[in-house]
Amino acid sequence: MDSLPAIFFTSFVVALSGALMPGPVLTLTVAEAAKGGWLAGPKIILGHGALELGLLVLLALGLGGFLASGPALKVFCLAGGVTLSAMGILTMTGKGGKSLELADGRGGGRGVFGSAGAGALTSVSNPYWVLWWATVGMGYLALAGRLGPAGIGSFFGGHILADLAWYTMVSALVASGRRAIGGRSYSLLLSVCGASLVLFGAWFVYKAFTAQA
């Protein structure tokens, strides 16, 4: 992850791995898409992404110099690496289930601002979202920041593109009447993503012990 393409790609895979696991944003997407159609996913991610972009800007502006320092880089890389590895192991051992049920969608569709607002509120109320940004997000920001604004932009671009792609697909499936994403394909996808998280986590830990102070 010492180049812009590498930061973008790994950020995409890590974000996709997290998005695949059932959670509040997925539940909201299913409920909105059941009545509002496939655009529910992109509208929800608009709010989710705006919240994360605002957080990213605040972190970058307020902690830029601090994150660039060797000691901070070591701490955040270690915390992020441990968290990523734990997420990967849980994903591979099936804690997220072997199928993704989409049959429980309820509620009506909202306008763009209503769905975006709901997406932002759902994200910020999720303690796992806060934990992710306090560990993995900070570790990525510390590493990406060493390549300047372009590095941070590559990190956020890969991150939000993964969310947009996954939740758009889910909302499209719900709107078309698809009741579940399951079977071997979903199980294999979780296994691959889980293994990727473990590898990225190990790389983060490696950087924690090799980064220059």
Per-residue pLDDT of the chain (213 residues; tens, 9 = 90+): 678 999 999 999 888 887 877 677 877 787 778 767 888 889 999 999 998 898 888 776 765 556 556 676 677 778 877 877 887 787 677 655 555 665 544 444 556 667 888 888 878 766 567 778 877 888 888 888 888 889 989 999 999 999 999 999 988 888 887 656 666 666 776 677 678 778 878 887 887 788 665
Question: Which pLDDT belongs to residue 42?
Answer: 92
Contact status, residue 143 vs residue 70, Cβ threshold 8 Å: no
Contact status, residue 113 vs residue 46, Cβ threshold 8 Å: no
Angle at 89 between CA 84 and CA 94, to 5 degrees: 130
The alpha carbon torsion through 87, 90, 91, 95 (nearest 10 deg) reads -130
Task: Please give the DSSP secondary-structure letter assigned to residue 93.
Answer: T
Question: Which pLDDT belongs to residue 77?
Answer: 77
Exposed / middle / buried, residue 104 (Cβ in 10 Å: 0-12, 13-18, 19+): exposed
User: Shortest CA distance to 209 belongs to which of 82, 77, 69?
Assistant: 77
User: Shortest CA distance to 190 belongs to which of 171, 166, 174?
Assistant: 166
Task: Please give the DSSP secondary-structure letter assigned to residue 8.
Answer: H
Contact status, residue 142 vs residue 7, Cβ threshold 8 Å: no
Task: Please give the DSSP secondary-structure letter assigned to residue 116.
Answer: H
